[in-house]
Amino acid sequence: MQDPDTVRQFKTSNLDPVVSTTAETQKRLAAYRKQWEPVIRASGYRA
């Protein structure tokens, strides 16, 4: 995140980049799935 244009694009999009290991990313994604899966199932959404 040393490129000024990249930093600007993230800020413009209201995004906060996160640096993490593969294991940390997998853990975060599993937590998101646990949080949102019941909501999506209850909505009846089908892909």
> Given this model, what pLDDT does residue 16 score?
86
Distances (CA, A) of 14 to 2, 7, 9, 11, 35: 17, 11, 9, 5, 22
* Predicted TM-score (pTM) above 0.75: no
Per residue of the chain (47 residues), give pLDDT as tens. Answer: 788 899 899 999 999 888 899 999 999 999 999 999 999 999 999 88
The domain ranges of the chain are 4-43
